Amino acid sequence: MLVLFLLGLTAAASSRKRQATGEHTMGFIGCSMAENIAQGYVAVGGTHMWGPYGTGGMVVQSWTDTNSASWRLFDQQAARYGRPAEVWVQICIFQNPGATYDEVERLVANAREHAAPGARIWITGQPLYPDNPSSCFLAGPAGPQLTVDLAKRAAADASLNVTYPGEFVLMRNEVQDGCHANAAGQRSLGEQALAFWG
């Protein structure tokens, strides 16, 4: 009797865990900065979100056309894990051309199209550099903050139905080339992602 009861408790606990974390049921789009986060997320034991899948250089304009090579890459992940029930949209830019709000709206619409029906869409900018704000030469001195502002604007737009979980940050000693995270930075970003999404 007691054994059956304990077995029942164990089964209930593990099914709750699966429900809460759902391995690889969260996809993402973004650039190398999203890859840095996904690398760190896997390194610190995250399993809910996909691991890195080769999104280097894939700034906003790589994702505005729903049939782009980037979305085909996303679809390969979706074929492997199932269409994701959640998608994180990272707004990532090169200084030129930057990004417009109209382009961000298209990213959200495309994410819905490639995700499972009724999926939850999250949106963030690229990481900020609080103790060296103009550090990221690829995005330009004001670039990272611009991506965060676009993400917050999208989350405030009820018609988009997307959620802003907070900002990612990289400190000076966590950066290897002005933009990208070193190993310590990746782990820090991974912990930040875990705190947002489990």
Ligand X SMILES: *[C@@H]1O[C@H](CO)[C@@H](O)[C@H](O)[C@H]1NC(C)=O
Decide whether 83 or 120 has the Cβ nearer to ligand X.
120
Asked if 118 is part of the footprint of ligand X (rule: CB under 6 A), the reply reads yes
Q: How many residues bind ligand X (CB under 6 A)?
A: 3
Decide whether 26 or 37 has the Cβ nearer to ligand X.
26
Asked if 83 is part of the footprint of ligand X (rule: CB under 6 A), the reply reads no
- State the helix-helix crossing angle for 69-81 and 101-114, rounded to 10 degrees: 30
Q: CA torsion sign, 167 to 83 to 180 to 59?
A: negative
Q: Choose, by CB under 6 A, the member of 10, 14, 15, 161 that binds ligand X.
A: 161
- What is the chain's Cα-based Rg? 18
Q: Choose, by CB under 6 A, the member of 106, 120, 152, 153 that binds ligand X.
A: 120
120 DSSP β-pair partners: 86
Decide whether 58 or 121 has the Cβ nearer to ligand X.
121
Sheet with 120-124: strands ordered across: 26-29, 86-90, 120-124, 162-163
Asked if 117 is part of the footprint of ligand X (rule: CB under 6 A), the reply reads no
Decide whether 45 or 118 has the Cβ nearer to ligand X.
118
How far is 192 from 198, CA to CA, in rounded Å? 10
- Residue type at position 171: M
Please give the residue ranges that form the binding site for ligand X (CB under 6 A): 118, 120, 161
